[in-house]
Structure 1
Amino acid sequence: MNNRSTRNVRTVSRREFLACSATVASAALAWPAIVPSSVFGANAPSNRITMGCIGVGGQGSSNMRGFKGQPGCEVVAVCDVDAGHREKAAKTAGLDAKSCYNDFRELLARTDIDAVSIATPDHWHVPTSIAAVRASKDVYCEKPLTLTIAEGRTLADEVKRYGRVFQTGSQQRSGAEFHKACEMVVNGRIGHLHTMRVGISNNNRECEPTWMPQPVPEGLDYDMWLGPAPWEPYHEQRCHYQFRFILEYSGGQMTNWGAHHLDIAQWGNQADATGPVEIVGKGEFPRTGLFTTALKAEIEYTYANGVKMFLKSGGGTRFEGTEGWIYVNRGKLEAEPKSLLTSVIGPDEKHLYQSRDHKRDFLDCIRSRKDPICTAETGHRTSTVCHLGNIAMRLARPLKWDPQKEQFLNDDEANRMTRRPARAPWRL
């Protein structure tokens, strides 16, 4: 599908043109009337979307396999700072060493790649995504989309500026149960929405009260893994899955699961372009050890439309209205009255964007150049709700937020927490 390559052009003489035309005409008469669809169809080489996968550990390798299994998509390169991840992914994708990279910038420099899947640690999501859109790649980036509110605004603006297709990997929006729940809410099936209740998991990893630096494992480019984050000595619990429990790299379960269940709340509340205006948070944080994110969270959000949202331990999203409630989680849809479950949205009612497959939706939008179901702006707004909760818990006082200006009101300390300095040379 890539059309960025150039061809050498020479002048063709009239004699050559006539000779060529005769040959083509003869060949056309001999060509069969029916040809396989793979010759000129979606799977033809010229129509395939070529992808590079950046970050191919647990979730990244799953995404790679998902794209590899999609018709009309070909994974042509992989990148990871862990040689073990890189080599395993290359074997799965059937790639040779020339198509494997330690530095994502080398992969992005390839002009034969149309799009990238990014599943790095959270602190790398935005720097890698911005580099990708500036390199004319469309992007599928894992959730949570951002590490800070400020970098999220920069990313959303850059995606719009460069005209790229961008899908945030909050894949619950492509789940039928979530689509049905939110569509019923926006069409007033539960009456006037007044309350949302969101549950997220508590930390599912523990660390010792003290820790000592460890040797960097062979095959891990640890300095590149740290990237824009502050330099710290290596420890196995600092990297890979457990990075999410350290604030330098992530926001804990608040961003890990909030990027799913708070995202559905945003969708049902029709708040994809805005966010809450008041936040009150209470959190329990580690006092020792390597981990620094909240162990437990209790957050109260208030939106400008008067809707209250309460977050605590648990799972899923519950919408409560004046005439009933709807609860949705993965594979589960409950409601009161139960008749809501068989309710059908009519042709003249509000219909939300429907995607039945998050990756397929992204690929289809690459071809159509339309926005997918979970854009960079949407991912940024959901991530912002997560970050607001973390900031409120850390400051342990009520906060007022302007979702248009994306600033706290009269609170310099809180505003400083919307951004972080980046280690050279990784400044945006």
Structure 2
Amino acid sequence: MNRRNFLKKTAGVSAAFTIIPRHVLGGSGFTAPSDELTRAVIGVGGMGRWHARLQNSRLLAVCDVDKNHLDRALNMVDRDVTGYHDFREVLQRQDVDIIHIATPPHWHALMSVMAADAGKDIWCEKPMTRTIGEGKKVVEAVKRNGSIFRINTWFRFRSDFYRLGTHVAPVKKAVLNGLLGWPLKITIGKYQGFEWKFYWSGLTQANPEWIPEELDYDMWLGPAPYKPYHAHRVHATFRGYWDYDGGGVGDMGQHYLDPAQYILGKDDTSPVEIDVDAPQAHPDAVGSWRRISMKYADGCEIILDGAAKDKDAPFIEGPDGKIFRDMKSDIPDLAKKLASLPDPEPQLIEFIDAVKNRQKFALNEQNGHRSATLVNLSKIAIQLGRKLHFDPVKQQFIDDDAANRLIDQPMRAPWILP
């Protein structure tokens, strides 16, 4: 029995015996081997090296298809950390508890599913998946294997929400206690404190280049369609291509939209109508857009203001009140009112505790899939350039074959999602 399965089977079980404190056995700061979680990081570019530096578990392995990235990572970690070229070898290690996935998004689903099937817990970079269909597969795999899963964004439970000037908690508290009324509209744009990073745009006329010796480009592409190599398609600028991500929406969307989903209480559903104002999209290179609106069945809306036109719009508004940046509001004495009202339910915000106790993390595969769906609905609207109607239960577009083809996109052989 591996350690992950042992924790799963014994979590919550108590026994009547005397526990000798750990420090008595091993001295101050001692961590018993049975208490130490281990991890491996797949993809050690910029974000992957951040994952490698985490101190909450012991790093055993790093993996990358670019030799320069791998060497750089190995030079910054302990000497007993092993480097790998093929992530499948990492998944075969029985001594690794947690897999950190810090690759481009076109790999997220496949690696997450394979890691879950290998008995691992998973810490995945955002966006959770590149397509809606991939997200459904990850949810199924995590449930099938009893894995613990988290997305690497945290604004629903920690830190100032970018330049909004506040944590999410007081806004959620105002909504939860009905101070704004219902339905609600959230606007996410420059004047609310959020940048959409339109510099993540692809090249439309890039001549093929020689593949650098240090990069296994075929493995970097993996399940993505084959396109001739150009340096702009990989590493720091891959976000500009639909095959791998979705520009600024793909990069920042789950950071911005997951807290909005949490505030509105929409963790178990999706919008029914998505509209877009954007230039005609290029089939390969991501470009710009001006405005995306997403409406839920109960009338709640999320507005993405890409053109920075909503200068006077609050972050959130309802029939009974508005909240702007820095918690400014048209509700008299909002801070005093909030102080006397019940707080939102507590969340499990330490991933290592979630793993040890076999409990769902605050941002997990289920609510993470729904906030990633907001990202992917936005991308599909941009690509098709028109209004979409979505069934949040079936997770399909209504009478729209072109849009539904973008839900489940084929993977390049030999890669398939189980």
Category of TM-score, reference length = shorter chain? 0.7 to 0.9
**Separation in structure 2 between the aligned mates of residue 310 and residue 155 of structure 1, nearest angstrom:** 27
The aligned counterpart of 1:419 is 408
Match of 1:88 among 72, 85, 98: 72
Is 1:159 the counterpart of 2:142 in the alignment? yes
**Separation in structure 1 between the aligned mates of residue 2 and residue 132 of structure 2, nearest angstrom:** 33
Is 1:373 the counterpart of 2:362 in the alignment? yes
Equivalent residue runs for 1:38-117 within 5 Å: 38-39=29-30, 43-65=31-53, 67=54, 69-70=55-56, 73-96=57-80, 99-117=82-100
The aligned counterpart of 2:293 is 300
Equivalent residue runs for 1:313-392 within 5 Å: 313=306, 318-327=315-324, 333-337=327-331, 339-341=333-335, 343-344=337-338, 349=342, 351-354=344-347, 361-392=350-381
Unaligned runs of at least 5 residues, structure 2 = 7-19, 160-166, 190-194
Shift of 1:156: 0.7
Residue identity opposite 2:154 in structure 1? Q
Residue identity opposite 2:42 in structure 1? I
Q: Which protein has the bigger strand share?
A: 1
Provide, for residues 402-424 of structure 1, a one-character-per-residue CA deviation record: whole Å limited to 9, x for no partner: 10100111111211111111011
SS at structure 2 position matched to 1:56: coil
Shift of 1:259: 0.8
Match of 1:215 among 179, 203, 210: 210
**Separation in structure 2 between the aligned mates of residue 209 and residue 302 of structure 1, nearest angstrom:** 32
The aligned counterpart of 2:163 is none
Provide, for residues 140-186 of structure 1, a one-character-per-residue CA deviation record: whole Å limited to 9, x for no partner: 00100111111110111110111110001122123240233223222
Shift of 1:318: 1.6
Structure 1 pair 416–4 and aligned structure 2 pair: CA distance change class (3 A): closer
SS at structure 2 position matched to 1:105: helix
TM-score, structure 1 normalization: 0.83
SS at structure 2 position matched to 1:422: coil
Contact kept in structure 1, 2:276 and 2:293, CA below 8 Å:
yes
Contact kept in structure 2, 1:283 and 1:394, CA below 8 Å:
no
**Separation in structure 1 between the aligned mates of residue 38 and residue 85 of structure 2, nearest angstrom:** 19
**Separation in structure 2 between the aligned mates of residue 33 and residue 136 of structure 1, nearest angstrom:** 33
Residue identity opposite 2:375 in structure 1? C
Corresponding pairs, count: 386
The answer to which of 127-136 and 203-212 deviates more is 203-212
The aligned counterpart of 2:235 is 240
Structure 1 pair 190–397 and aligned structure 2 pair: CA distance change class (3 A): same
Shift of 1:92: 1.6
TM-score, structure 2 normalization: 0.85
Shift of 1:323: 2.7
Identity over aligned residues, as a percent? 37
Structure 1 pair 77–275 and aligned structure 2 pair: CA distance change class (3 A): same
**Separation in structure 1 between the aligned mates of residue 277 and residue 132 of structure 2, nearest angstrom:** 20
The answer to which of 118-127 and 195-204 deviates more is 195-204
Provide, for residues 98-125 of structure 1, a one-character-per-residue CA deviation record: whole Å limited to 9, x for no partner: 7100111101100000001111001000
Shift of 1:320: 0.8
**Separation in structure 1 between the aligned mates of residue 94 and residue 395 of structure 2, nearest angstrom:** 36
Contact kept in structure 1, 2:225 and 2:411, CA below 8 Å:
yes
**Separation in structure 2 between the aligned mates of residue 150 and residue 170 of structure 1, nearest angstrom:** 21
